[in-house]
Amino acid sequence: MLFIVTAINVGDRATLSITGSALIEVLNINSVTLGYMFSAFAWAYVMGQLPGGWLLDKFGSARVYGISLLLWSCITVAQGMIGFFSVPVAVAMLFVLRFLLGVIEAPVYPANNRIVAAWFPTQERGLATVIYNSSQYLSVVLLAPLMGFIAHTYGWEHVYWFMGGLGIVIGLFWFRFVKAPTEHRWVNDAEMAHIREGGAEVDIDKPREQGAFKPRFSDIKVLLKTPMMWAIYLGKYCDTSLQYFFLTWFPIYLVKGRGLNIMEAGAIAAIPGICGLLGALCGGAACDYLLRKGFSLTMARKIPLVCGMSIGVSLVLCNFTDSIWIVTLLMSLAIFGKGVVAVDWTLVSDTAPKQITGMAGGLFNMFGNISGIITPIIIGYIVQATGSFEGALYVVAGHAALGALAFLCMGTLRKLELQR
């Protein structure tokens, strides 16, 4: 369910990139305006991280996540309605709806992390984490070509109606099947003993007793005063810059920069997506393998993170070729490296005090998604000023190199203790 719902979540974010070239014509907007449209989601997403994490710590993962799923799906449907209004109103509505989408989706990744921490022992958590994280590439592999086909055949607004309707249907299954380990009727005693003994936090969503610990926003100071965490946050920021390039400007790069049509761009985008999916699975499997072979937790996390970010730099070589197939190969290699880095979410459960796992995940995701504000806007200005994506690829590759350095310098991983 985490894999499926996260794929829909990422697909709903990517609807604007798939329909962006059509909306440029329909709404008569330029690349800079579209860049701000892309960033509207990230502004709200960043601001919603800590409140979203607090809601998770207070009310539990399954309930908050399920409500979020239904609400963001309704917002997605509403984005398809802007064509019924005048152009100025439509532009304003789209910006507001993208902003609301960011607010409502804010708890998703912290909730994913909390649910994995509750259900999986430490030595199985790497692969479990990248399985849900790799769903972003499923969105590229399956949903991007499908959305491209829908936009090309039926019109851009049908993309939003299809994706929003799909989320609403899946939301009905969510409340039926997703529960805490201690509340799930399919869990037997042997499984419960296995995950408890392996370090899973099975009681993370257990209702609080009278006088029990209550999370406060001030508790995050234990994270902010630790150099280890600042290196992790910088690495996540750089990693997410690559993610936002692929989720926002990449299909438009293929259309405007490489001369493909919207359906061809969706199909080509699926090839790097497959490589990203494979990279994510390889990163998680490598992480768990290194732990089983006796490597320290620090080395088991650091090796795939540094290697993955280093591989991501390869996309800059697209500036030196005119072949669409070489571009596809290089982008596939870069997104494979980005996929390997999907294991970075394990750093939250590795380091955060268990009482504030939700807020810790929110803070981690907040720093990462600041690049979701900056990267689309910078690329928009570069494309507007130069008429080319060449400078944009240098910016994204530079983030990959800086991310590799940050993860290399994060020091020895350790579980932090909450102090009041």
Give the contacts of 14 (CB within 8 A, at least 6 positions apart): 139, 140, 143, 144, 147, 247, 248
- Count of beta carbons in the 10 Å neighbourhood of residue 307: 17
- Count of beta carbons in the 10 Å neighbourhood of residue 17: 25
What is the distance between the alpha carbons of residues 133 and 238, in angstroms, rounded to a whole number?
Answer: 16
Q: Which CATH class is domain 2-184+213-408?
A: mainly alpha
Closest CA to 175 of 101, 67, 57, 73: 67
60: left (phi over 0), alpha (psi -120 to 50) or beta: left
- Count of beta carbons in the 10 Å neighbourhood of residue 78: 18
Closest CA to 245 of 390, 140, 404, 392: 392
8 A C-beta contact, residue 66 and residue 126 = no
Domain segments of the chain: what residues? 2-184+213-408
Closest CA to 161 of 77, 273, 264: 77
Entry pTM = 0.73
Half-sphere exposure of 364 (CA within 13 A, CB side): 30
Alpha helix ranges (H) inside 120-156: 125-133, 135-138, 144-154
Give the max Cα distance, the chain: 66
pLDDT band at 264 (very low <50, low <70, confident <90, very high): confident
Instruction: Name the amino acid, one letter, at 346.
Output: T
Q: What is the pLDDT of residues 126-160, one digit of tens each?
A: 788 878 877 877 776 778 778 888 988 898 899 99
Q: What is the pLDDT of residues 211-257, one digit of tens each?
A: 556 667 778 888 999 999 999 999 999 999 988 888 778 877 888 88
What's the token pair of residue 222? 């234990």
pLDDT band at 284 (very low <50, low <70, confident <90, very high): confident
Q: What is the torsion angle, in degrees rounded to the nearest 10, for the CA atoms of residue 74, residue 76, residue 81 and residue 85?
A: 110
pLDDT band at 407 (very low <50, low <70, confident <90, very high): very high
